[in-house]
Amino acid sequence: MDVEKLFDLNQNVEGILIYNGGETSNDPSFFYFTQLTRGLFEGSYVFLTRKNLKVITSQLEEETARSEDLDVEVFPTGKRRDEILKEVTKDVTFVGINYSGLSHTDYLSLKDKLPNKEFVDVGESISSLRQVKSDREISKLKEAARIVSRVGEEIPGMLKEGMTENELAAKVNYEMMKNGASSPSFDTIAAFGPDAAEPHFSGGVRKLTKGEVVLVDFGAKFQRYCSDMTRSYFFGKPDREMEEMYDIVFKAQDAGFKAIRSGENGKIVDGASRKVIDSSKFKGKFIHSLGHGVGLNVHDHPALGSQMDFFLKENMVITVEPGVYIPKKGGVRIEDDVVVTKNGCQIITTAPRELQIV
């Protein structure tokens, strides 16, 4: 990451303090700057200047923090933590913080700890930096993509008549962990038949029967970086309309891939896919945006949508996920992760995309 650029974008800021509150206010930017791959680091800080990066953490995380080549300050008590914060910021008046990574309670607490500092929101600048991935980040994202690709190849063999959606989701999660994931990157969606008409389905008690579509949306975390892939399968011969639906979604995704390149507006890419669907009998049935950024968050930033201008840059990693949904009947979505290149994109999720009848 380019810390110098972050300060160049915020000329009046003399130091940047990122707080990782933990479960209720976790800030992935803490891990973006430190690149720590292990540990929770709840209640920890990273303090950045143009020349230095210091991790301020508790004794719980001391061993993990010191295992990396980082400048680490450990506090045994809350009192000592507050003293360290005052020490490292003593020569700084304007302190950059990430407002979007703080709860209101944490913000007020920080103001109380450092009452003489002027806080400046640098969250937008951090988000801009995080959108374009380094080689190191892309390597991790590709490994996360490899894991879900491997599992996607195995899903057809998992399908059994009478199994529940929750049972399939559990099998997918197990296989991701078995293949090297540290965890799923979000709650796995497994939806059968009519349930697949809900893009963000949850519930999972329906039993699989012949002729139904099986939609599985899942992602793996590898060293904190996420993947996100969706495949739709058919358990037995589907009816003609469902096969047509799959064919249209497949073609829409291809159109999206072909439209991606550095400098292109995500709205144009979305439109290329949407045109394929809206030129078919399924017009109006594509009810969400085409894709989003992937990184330390599974929804890392906006990317491909019809309602906003967002210009793609080389080495962004984004999803391409057209879908068609018919209530009470079913839906089809195909989703892949891609790296934006100068003249196109590299697809990094490689499980078969072609229609599969199990």
Whole-angstrom CA distances from 329 to 194, 196, 200, 242 are: 5, 8, 16, 9
Gyration radius of the chain over CA positions: 23
Fold adopted by 135-347: Creatine Amidinohydrolase (3.90.230)
DSSP strands (E only) in 4-106 = 15-20, 44-48, 53-58, 71-75, 94-97
Distance CA 184, CA 144 (A): 10
Distance CA 215, CA 358 (A): 13
- Position 62, amino acid: E
User: Cβ(252)–Cβ(258) under 8 Å?
Assistant: no
Distance CA 11, CA 291 (A): 33
Q: Which residue has the tokens 């690709």?
A: 149
| CA-closest candidate to residue 219, choices 167, 289, 141, 160 | 141
Residue 185: partners with Cβ closer than 8 Å, 6 or more residues away: 144, 219, 220, 221, 226, 227, 228, 298
Quote the tokens at residue 194. Answer: 């009519």
Q: What is the CATH number of domain 3-131?
A: 3.40.350.10
Q: In 5-28, which positions are buried (b, 16+ CB within 10 angstroms) versus exposed (e)? A: ebbebbeebbbbbbbbbeeebbbb
Residue 293: partners with Cβ closer than 8 Å, 6 or more residues away: 131, 299, 300, 301, 302, 303, 316, 317, 318
Whole-angstrom CA distances from 206 to 79, 168, 195, 201, 246 are: 53, 11, 8, 12, 22
* Ramachandran bin of 204, using left for φ above 0, alpha for ψ from -120 to 50, beta for the remaining angles: left
- Position 90, amino acid: K
For each of the chain's 358 residues, which pLDDT tens digit applies? 678 889 999 989 999 999 999 877 889 999 999 999 999 999 999 999 999 999 999 999 999 999 888 999 999 999 999 999 999 999 999 999 999 999 999 999 999 999 999 999 999 999 999 999 999 999 999 999 999 999 999 999 999 999 999 999 999 999 999 999 999 999 999 999 999 999 999 988 999 999 999 999 999 999 999 999 999 999 999 999 999 999 999 999 999 999 999 999 999 999 999 999 999 999 999 999 999 999 999 999 999 999 999 999 999 999 999 999 999 999 999 999 999 999 999 999 999 999 999 9
Residue 226: partners with Cβ closer than 8 Å, 6 or more residues away: 141, 144, 185, 186, 219, 220, 294, 295, 296, 297, 298, 300
* Torsion over CA: 134, 135, 139, 141 (sign): positive
* Ramachandran bin of 137, using left for φ above 0, alpha for ψ from -120 to 50, beta for the remaining angles: alpha
